[in-house]
Amino acid sequence: MPATYDKETVERVVRMCAERLEFPEESQAASMNQVSTLTRVPADTIKGWVRRAQIDSGVRPGVTSDQLAELKKLRRENQELRRANTILKSASAFFAAELDRPSG
């Protein structure tokens, strides 16, 4: 099970990477590996955090965290509406059949 990190840890690690990237003699991968060694956070995790921060700040193209959250909310809402629509269609068919049935 992957470890979860609090927001402050993520921000600190991303900031550490950004500070190390200011030195041109070190590659991005080397910076992330060094920060990984210092913080004991896996380098792949750091890479994802840095990319997300770059997208959110507009440095890198992509869908921002706010847009992803909105999309997730809308998809959930769409799923609920589809489920409600299915229930209403079933109820409508049931009551239509009841109205068509001769009373006896």
Domain identity same for 29 and 44: yes
Query: Quick one: average pLDDT of 78-92?
Result: 96
At 63 the pLDDT is 92
Identify the CA nearest to 49 among candidates 7, 3, 1.
7
| CA pseudo-torsion sign 16, 20, 22, 28 | negative
Task: State the residue range of the domain holding 31.
Answer: 1-62
Q: How confident is the model at residue 2 (pLDDT cuts 50, 70, 90)?
A: low
Domain identity same for 72 and 21: no
pLDDT tens column, 26-80: 888 899 999 999 999 999 999 999 999 999 999 999 999 999 999 999 999 999 9
**Which CATH number goes with the domain that contains 22?**
1.10.10.10
Domain identity same for 8 and 26: yes
